[in-house]
Amino acid sequence: MLCVPGNHDVGDTSGEMPLQTSLLAACVDLFGPDHWARRAGTWLLLGVNAQLMGSGTTQEQAQWRWIEEQAERAGPQTHLDVTADGVRHVWMPSSGFILADHMQPRVGEKVVGIGILDLDADGAGFDLWCPDGMLRHELANLQAFQQMSPGPTTGGMV
């Protein structure tokens, strides 16, 4: 299992919860690197910490250099999943908690679950799995968040 921190884990630059480098360091200590590369057949999978994008931090600069290095190593023969006229994005839910509506405006149903990405030579497929019994903990109510967070923030989604 490979992980990358999400906005609920470390904050981000959208204004929901400011990026907190102390939370980022804690995530890296617990789960390993916040970006990674793995080969799966003809696929090159890059896991990136999207919460760093636009932060202006040294961590963001290092990640961009790493992404450029990965692209150079992959070369032009790499089999890619490309969406014409844009970039394909696949939303992956948190497997642990949701944000209350006052912290993140509701766009759809807030779920916890597991995103499953199937890759083969013909393309990619995505499925959302929400097993029975998974609890939707509200992040703001978790003791660990209350101890590390400067307090709830308000703001909209970008």
pLDDT one-digit tens code per residue, 27-47: 889 889 999 998 887 778 888
* pTM (two decimals): 0.55
Instruction: In whole angstroms, give the CA distance from residue 55 to residue 60.
Output: 7
CA angle 153, 155, 157 (to 5 degrees): 130
How is residue 18 annotated by DSSP? B
CA 114 → CA 30, 73, 94, 122, distances in Å?
A: 19, 30, 7, 23
Q: How many residues does the chain have?
A: 158
Q: What is the mean pLDDT of residues 19-26?
A: 86
| Structure confidence by residue, pLDDT tens digits, 107-143 | 667 788 887 878 788 777 778 788 888 888 887 787 7
Dihedral, 87, 92, 97, 98 alpha carbons, nearest 10: 40
pLDDT at 155 over 70: no
Instruction: Please give the radius of gyration of the chain, using alpha carbons only, rounded to the nearest integer.
Output: 17
